[in-house]
Structure 1
């Protein structure tokens, strides 16, 4: 009786190697910072070859972008739509409280902080960051606010691009500049203040300065 040998699963090996590389990038950027992060260091930590990394990613920044995407997907935050229970204020508070938790988690916040700074200096990385992370997440926010506007929960003249910045901007500013503690209470206050200016006015009025349309 002969024993058949199983053919190694190349796809599974590739997935395991990719995961090891992304995990290594997250660990190292938290330990040494973005400036000292290197493809050589990532390869050594992951037990992978440099050429393997360069075959999949053009730069350490691109590796880190995919590492953050992997981490978000692992937390169940991938490309999921924002909650829509019909109660816009409650839904936004839920989302912003989750954002506070993310930004207070060093495993996620430190790589994100490093990338946020680096994209200001590296146009190529900025393009990757926008395509893979920023624009997809922003579109989810716009879709939720568009549904609220269509349902009459926001003034018809509200500019949704501006509304996104009003709602999420204060959290990211406080986080990036370390201006104060990020708490659920702060998130709730931001939502309440933003919606106070975005909701329909009595007698068909619009928020001051409101303008229909979405620009970007």
Structure 2
């Protein structure tokens, strides 16, 4: 049963925690699952990730966009598409919506341009279900006190607010996308995720 599930949203919103919980739940239920992430997921893509997220690097917005798409192209061809062809459930932390939110709304790139390069990088692949995790901005600051901050997380409040607003608008126009209140507890969010998987006939 090939299904492509994506966890989206701003940094520090609990995507990795929920992706891990879902993978364990599905594996325990007997499903064949691949968990992966963007940028990353393959050796080439992980190398690009290091460049993109290293706070010591000065990366121009145009180079940033193209690096994300290069990472995605490699990741999609090498890992995601083969897994789907093997009838696996693929759980991915971030995909094309991240580029729309960060480089489109955040950096100001034309959305038609972003949609074009997203389509090239993915061979037109679309998620079967996208979870968009949004939390109150105060939690971003609170959680950041105990975490290493990468290059994107060090962006200022103005950039972060544009990106957050982008996610709010994107979830309304993206097929099979649902908004998750990431202010809730880990257990409450996991229950909502499972509920939506049944609603969309993935479970």
| Structure having the larger proportion of residues in helix | 1
- More strand as a share of residues: 2
User: Which structure exhibits the higher relative contact order, with contacts defined as CA atoms closer than 8 Å and separated by 6 or more residues?
Assistant: 2
- TM-score tier after normalising by the smaller chain length: 0.3 to 0.5
- Compute the TM-score of the two structures, normalised by the length of structure 2: 0.37
TM-score by length of 1: 0.35
Please say which structure displays the higher CA radius of gyration: 1
